[in-house]
Structure 1
Amino acid sequence: KLNILDYNNHHPIFFNLPLNLTISSDDIFVTKLFAYDLDFYDNENLKYYLIDKDQQKFFSINEKTGIIIQKIFSNQTFSQLKIAVSDGLYLTINYLPITIYDYSKHSPKFSSNEYLFQYNKILGQISAYDLDPNDRIIYKLYLEPDGIIIDSYSGIITIHRDIFPQKIEFFASASDYAQQIVYTKIQIIFPIQPKFKSNLYFIYLNSTIKIPSEIFQFELVDSLNQQLLLTKFKIDETKFFDIKQNKLILKKQLYPLKISYFNIYGYWKNYTCQSIIQIMYIEKIFKLNKQFYEYKIDKILLKENFFITKFKIKKKVILIINSTPL
């Protein structure tokens, strides 16, 4: 009995060969070649070659796997590798065009050495550019508070928290394909919106008070409750009260049973804000430990009947807290 095998009638063929491959001058791995042979058993013996000896100075190929690596940068922006695959009898030659970018010629540069953003959910965008064609910029933050993040590719910075320290300052970097890094500084400022500490002031007087007498001092604060300087104040015209600088003066005795209401206006730069004053006579005044109490509460934790503090007062004394629309 004689068996006749159909042996090696076909040339090997490259499969999915890139039409134009783009790599960086710093890349080591270039690509992996694939080929097949219609003679089934020849596929196990395929070998890959670089034909051009000059190109072998800069690139090498693994004969068995078809993996091409870049050994050194040739200072050329384009190479057309002459490649081949063989099944042991037939040799198939083709060309692999490679565009090579040297991303290390230029370092990225920020459009500004320092960015200043106003507090908002979306703070803003930092931007860096690189003169190397087709380079890629990656952004990263350093020493940033929790809740501030950056999109690595767009440079857009966003905030995902509501409570922050009064001063926010951190840094950002931009790096390119060649891992060249530059840095910039970022500061967040809070927009100044002057306001009174309360939308309604309750001031209690005693009939023994001297005339004239200073009964209260006002101040304007920003959104972080920091006192603003160079402020001015004005009240509705009244024969009983006057305001000097930030001091409310009682210049004439009121009727003990009468409750007085009037407006006060605060001015800072080009801003104007308003509050209301209520004056009421009482028999006896008990002073607390502080002139005013201030509490910072995370609104995420705030709920109905949330405990804030406990005041120490004498027996048989009733503490009344008037609500204000803060």
Structure 2
Amino acid sequence: MSNSNTTDFTNPSTFILQGISGLEASHVWISIPFCAMFILAILGNFAILLIVKMEPSLHGPMYYFLCMLAIADLVLSTAIIPKMLAIFWFNSREIDFSACLTQMYFVHCFSVMESGIIVAMGFDRYVAICHPLRHSTILTIPVVAKMGLAVVLRSAMVILPIPILVRQWPYCRTNIIPEPFCTHISVVKLACGDTQVSSYYGLFVLLCVMGLDGIFITVSYIQILRDIFSLPTKDTRLKTFGTCVSHLCVILTFYIPGLFSSLIYRFVQNVPLHFHALIGNMNLLMPPMLHPIIYGVRTKEIRDRLLRFITHKE
């Protein structure tokens, strides 16, 4: 039996992305900040990559990890915003089923990858502060390359089952997704039958991957702070802690918005659907814009190289 809200399509050819549900009339205005964020993310992350490539003094572990973070930010932004702007500007709401699963994979894969890179950057800060004399021998170029490869492979393999599971479910409710891009939760909600395997696996990724990353970062900073407080003078402690500020800001911009959104979703009642959509979008799109700004402002070597580049052009 079917009604106006139910369609019998076991294997849908397309989904309809609704954009910001409830704010369709304001899509053009909403697109302005998202477009600005996209431009800043592209320019900022390409600037980071260019500066590190051109400046030999920046060819070190921290900056290699920063380049990895910039690449992940570029891919994440490009996977989401162009289609979002097409919805806002041209009302291009249709997305092929396979394209939807591909977008879903890239969004979740590179989100997990960013988390892994932030852990690697935390390990770099731990070694630099707690074992400064051994930093160059512990974090050699081959070790950094292996850590980067491990982060990439972990992300690719952990997220791979998500689109595979989603592809096998029958879809018989609707093909309308009330968001501007495809996510695991939004697609699984449209599936029929018992989708608990997908739900449990998504929870596993959240708790056992992102959660463990958070634990590793916390443990590393406990050791870092312990060593900082054991330093003899206040100036030395402040100077040493200053080397961690950029990384701490990246941690806050990456983890805190997601935690805030999750708490609102679970514990705050009667929140409009469009508010959840806007917060979810900001969680994914703010970090790629903020990361290069944080490191550009806080890292003297990058800031000086950028100023020299601008002055030379002038």
Largest Rg, 1 or 2: 1
TM exceeding 0.5: no
TM-score range, shorter chain: under 0.3
The structure in which a higher percent of residues are strand is 1
Q: Which has the higher helix share?
A: 2
